[in-house]
Amino acid sequence: MNVNRFKELIDICEKTGEPLDKVVLHWEMLDSGLSPEKVVKKTEVLFDVMKESYEENRGKNLKTLVGLTGDNAKKMLDYLPFAFTGERVFQAVTIAVTIAESNASMKRIVACPTGGASGVVPGVLLTLEKYGTKREKLISSLIVAGAIGKVISLHASLSGAQHGCQAEIGSGTAMAAGAAVYAMDGTPQQVADAAALSLKSLMGLVCDPVGGFVEVPCVKRNAAGAALALLFADMARAGVKSVVPFDEVVDAMAKVGRMMPESLRETGKGGIADTPTAKNIVDVFSRKFKI
């Protein structure tokens, strides 16, 4: 089974009638030699760590390495009952920021797909769980998210240093949106549509962290990712299709990534990192800690 495109997974589902997560597990077995049982078990562990990361750091003022963020998730949790966007979206965004701030504070997280974008997928999955999705379904959705990320890694990249933030938050959002569709009993095609809509909306997003550190704007982009993922999951479930199929969007993202100048690929030299405020922050910090 020489699969490397998402369309091929959808075709197999349609021909065999097998659910998408089972097809992904077979792909994984043939590819990496791991049995489906083992992959499911390890995925469960990853899901549990995501949950722990949130529960242990929920509502806390966190001390991040550079100190540019750390108390935002707490503010958001306090504001949750008043959220105009609604409890579900704001809940997802709050979880995403909690985990992203935990990551910036050297806490244990799941790099799904990277440390910088680690809040998006748990933000969506843990919100789905809170509103009734069963654990088993969430695990199979996380496996589907893995397939979305794997296709991206095969044809583009998941690294901000390589293809900018579109490769990190963009990929995380595509994975979370696809997982959400799957958790809502959507079809494999709807999974692909939600992933495509996500990646298209974040196409060209640059990786421009202040000082190169995973704090500003990384943490808040996790919020954007979680909110967009739920939005596109609903749109795909409503029947909205991506005109350009997911696999082609991935190729387009890779092309955009290759065109991106180095200053916008995690070097801390362009974009937000190149503002007077950012430069000042870095100056003060590096005077304090220079070898």
Binding site for other proteins (CB under 8 A): 24, 28, 31-32, 34, 39, 42-43, 45-46, 49, 64-66, 102-116, 118, 121, 142-143, 145-147, 149-150, 153-154, 158-159, 161-162, 175, 211-215, 267-268, 285-286, 289, 291
Residue from 123, 134, 58 nearest 90 by CA: 123
Instruction: For residue 181, give Cα distances in angstroms to 168, 191, 253.
Output: 20, 6, 22
In the complex, least distance from residue 73 CB atom to other proteins, rounded to whole angstroms: 14
In the complex, least distance from residue 218 CB atom to other proteins, rounded to whole angstroms: 8
In the complex, least distance from residue 213 CB atom to other proteins, rounded to whole angstroms: 4
Q: Which is nearer to other proteins, 43 or 198 (CB)?
A: 43
Q: Which is nearer to other proteins, 30 or 240 (CB)?
A: 30
Beta-bridge partners for 265: 207
For 278, counting Cβ atoms within 10 Å of its Cβ (0-12 exposed, 13-18 middle, 19+ buried), the class is buried
Q: Which is nearer to other proteins, 141 or 190 (CB)?
A: 141
Q: Which is nearer to other proteins, 34 or 244 (CB)?
A: 34
Beta-bridge partners for 207: 265
CA dist 40 and 76 (Å) reads: 33
In the complex, least distance from residue 243 CB atom to other proteins, rounded to whole angstroms: 26
Residue from 109, 66, 107, 123 nearest 268 by CA: 66
Q: Which is nearer to other proteins, 103 or 189 (CB)?
A: 103
In the complex, least distance from residue 238 CB atom to other proteins, rounded to whole angstroms: 27
Intra-chain end-to-end CA distance of the chain, in Å? 52
